[in-house]
Structure 1
Amino acid sequence: MAQTNDSVKVDDITVERLVSGISSVPSTIVEKRLILSLVDLTTLEGKDTDNQIIELCQKAVKAGVAAVCVYPGLVEVAKQELRNTSVKVASVAGGFPSGQLPLKLRLTEACYAIEQGADEIDMVISRGKFLEGNYQSVFEEISAFKQVCGRHTLKVILETGELETLDNIRLASDIALKSGADFIKTSTGKISVNATLPAMCVMLQAIKDHYAVTGKKCGIKPSGGISDASTAVKYIRLTENVLGKEWLQPSLFRFGASRLVNHLLLEIK
């Protein structure tokens, strides 16, 4: 049951302090290599082809990223190409990016992606239901996705750019964490407002508080608009400041990105 009456109110001053306190020192080679290891190398275009996915997977292996992220219909291609590697296959599922399909169909899509070989599922919450105050419905849909995913990783996309306030971002984070999310993720990358440091800060604090109460470490995935090392390192440093270095590993931190890998590879050479 999603509890909302005790939802934590966001302290804007604390958020501003944490965000403004991020070190402005340029990213180091060590940080760039760390960032690369945390990337979900992503392509989510209507024109994606089998050959493009094969090339994406080859690039992922060469770069040493954590995972690739593709549509369900291309999971089988990615899984075959990445066999005998450590790179995982993530798939968006559940009516991405709108989340407006009936829940039964959304769950069927997630089941299909897992059957095709997906290791991880990225689903997006129903923002309309959340914004009209139907929090229980959001809780139940995430719980249903987690039941389908089982041992597979479930990343819950909040689409923070549509949630209107930091308090809403905190509430959505709390609901996702309580309903079984393994990761909470900022954005689909399909709207104009993607990951922001204030939104990330609120989500990190929700994870910290959830861990303090339950002892369960949940992951974080900033996604959308993070295309260079100077931007990415701010998210790394903010996470370290709030949660500690132990969160800076693929099991607890991912970047959703496409262009970022190219920039990092050029800078590391």
Structure 2
Amino acid sequence: MGERTMDKTATTQLPLAVERRNDGMALDLDWVRGVQANTSAIERRAATLPARRSVKKDYQAAWLLKAITCIDLTTLAGDDTPGRVRRLCAKARHPVRGDLLTALDMPPITVGAVCVYHDMVSMAVQNLAGSGIPVAAVSTGFPAGLSPFHLRVEEIRESVKAGADEIDIVISRRHVLTQNWQALYDEMRAFREACGDAHVKAILATGELGTLRNVARASLICMMAGADFIKTSTGKEPVNATLPVTLVMIRAIRDYYQRTGLRVGYKPAGGISKAKDALVYLAMIKEELGDRWLQPDLFRFGASSLLGDIERQLEHHVTGAYSAAWRHGMG
């Protein structure tokens, strides 16, 4: 991303799927058990990025616009209302004020998707009609994933029936903690089958998996079972997306691609609320996976407040002054 004229194509909304879908593969336990994670080396590598990778001025604005197109704009609160979802969908359609886009010489853009609970799927579908923006539903007893298995599977089917294009499922952490890889694989395959044509994002809840090695192995299992995306967190754990976890997961994605030729997406979620953090994640994706993964069909941020901070930074770029946060509300 360099000159603005080059970024117009790069930041416009892409179709939901342009890659061959990940159909998965047979469980390869030798591959899984051979996966290791050098924690100290991973942490050192992750720590270098915020200091080494920075972009300024027009280049920073271009990267921030790219980040917006990769946001799953999310509301997952117990007090969600139809009105809140309507306002969130309106923001998803027009995430940046028109005067800022004009000043940046940019066409209209949208976010990557809108993510809601099952009860709000139909409301989101109705309010996003004709926009091309997918609706994602969290499912399978989100966030703990401890409801009866048949109910978790049925919840997926109900959300797909209601119009969800994407399903964010949560895995059973106990399968990872007890190294029951067959059970995790079978669970993920069942969830993938229940999704049908809807794409499935596997939430690992990495803050509850104990070790980076467990994160690496769980990532690989979910991809073998047909996950279209692997995702860090529900956003409800004490520790959510981190750079070391991201490095482990995207290197698992890279290994899977090199062995199968199938591209799987990545979604960090939870705690990413500042524009500068989004830039670091994008830089890591570019360095580790390449430019193809910098598109919304292969990369998403799970976020709500992130968009507001990005819009404030874009206003500062255009006007030289920061505006109040309330001027960039999500809903």
Q: State the TM-score, normalizing by the size of structure 2.
A: 0.79
Query: How much has 1:155 moved relative to structure 2?
Result: 0.2
Alignment partner of 1:25 out of 54, 57, 64: 54
Alignment partner, residue 13 of structure 2:
none
Alignment partner, residue 146 of structure 2:
100
Query: One-letter code of the match for 1:165?
Result: T
* SS of match in other structure, 1:122: strand
Q: Is the 8 A contact 2:74 2:302 kept in 1?
A: yes
Provide the rounded CA distance (Å) in 2 between the counterparts of 1:242 and 1:16.
15
Alignment partner, residue 75 of structure 1:
121
Give structure 2 stretches of 5+ with no counterpart: 1-25, 96-109, 316-331
Alignment partner of 1:41 out of 70, 73, 76: 73
Alignment partner, residue 4 of structure 1:
29
Alignment partner, residue 283 of structure 2:
237
Query: One-letter code of the match for 1:89?
Result: V
Q: Which moved more, 1:197-206 or 1:147-156?
A: 147-156
Query: How much has 1:135 moved relative to structure 2?
Result: 1.7
Alignment partner of 1:260 out of 306, 327, 330: 306
Distance 1:83 1:39, change over 3 A: same
Give structure 1 stretches of 5+ with no counterpart: none
1:112 equivalenced with 2:158 (yes/no): yes
Provide the rounded CA distance (Å) in 2 between the counterparts of 1:130 and 1:12.
18
Provide the rounded CA distance (Å) in 2 between the counterparts of 1:225 and 1:86.
27
Q: Which moved more, 1:85-94 or 1:11-20?
A: 11-20
Provide the rounded CA distance (Å) in 1 between the counterparts of 2:40 and 2:288.
15
Provide the rounded CA distance (Å) in 2 between the counterparts of 1:224 and 1:140.
27
Provide the rounded CA distance (Å) in 2 between the counterparts of 1:259 and 1:241.
26
Query: One-letter code of the match for 2:54?
Result: V
**What is the number of equivalent residue pairs in this alignment?**
269
Query: How much has 1:173 moved relative to structure 2?
Result: 0.4
- Pairs within 5 Å for 1:1-269: 2-7=27-32, 8-12=35-39, 14-22=41-49, 23-26=52-55, 28-63=60-95, 64-269=110-315
Alignment partner, residue 23 of structure 2:
none
Query: One-letter code of the match for 2:299?
Result: F
Identity %: 43
Q: State the TM-score, normalizing by the size of structure 1.
A: 0.97
Query: How much has 1:2 moved relative to structure 2?
Result: 3.3
Query: One-letter code of the match for 2:61?
Result: I
Query: How much has 1:17 moved relative to structure 2?
Result: 4.5
Query: One-letter code of the match for 1:42?
Result: T
Query: How much has 1:90 moved relative to structure 2?
Result: 0.3
Q: Is the 8 A contact 1:240 1:247 kept in 2?
A: yes
Q: Is the 8 A contact 2:53 2:283 kept in 1?
A: no
